[in-house]
Amino acid sequence: MKHDTTPDRRRDEDKVARVIRVAEEVLAQAYRGASRQEMIESQLRVRESVVREMRRRLR
């Protein structure tokens, strides 16, 4: 079993942070022209997707 070394772990953390920043930017752009109801529905879909992925990874 390969153990995470500090540089590997740091690289993975940087990658995750970059993906999150890009997702936030994309959502911010999408929400600029959206109605309040569209924003709420979108946020619920995103939350459901994140929860599904977390559950999948915990299995």
Residue 21 lies in a domain: yes
Contact between 12 and 2 under an 8 Å Cβ cutoff? The reply is: no
The number of folded domains in the chain is: 1
Q: Name residues whose C-beta falls within 8 Å of residue 20's C-beta, 6 or more positions apart in sequence.
A: none
Per the confidence metrics, is the pTM higher than 0.75? no
| Overall average pLDDT of the 9-37 stretch | 92
**Distance between CA atoms of residues 55 and 51, nearest Å:** 6
Task: Give the model's pLDDT for residue 26.
Answer: 92
Task: Give the model's pLDDT for residue 38.
Answer: 95
Local confidence band at 4 (pLDDT 50, 70, 90 cut-offs): low
Local confidence band at 10 (pLDDT 50, 70, 90 cut-offs): confident
**Distance between CA atoms of residues 32 and 30, nearest Å:** 6
Residue 1 lies in a domain: no
Q: Which domain holds residue 31?
A: 6-58
Local confidence band at 2 (pLDDT 50, 70, 90 cut-offs): low
> Among all chains, which residue has been given the structure tokens 């022209």?
33
Q: Name residues whose C-beta falls within 8 Å of residue 31's C-beta, 6 or more positions apart in sequence.
A: 39, 42
Residue 34 lies in a domain: yes
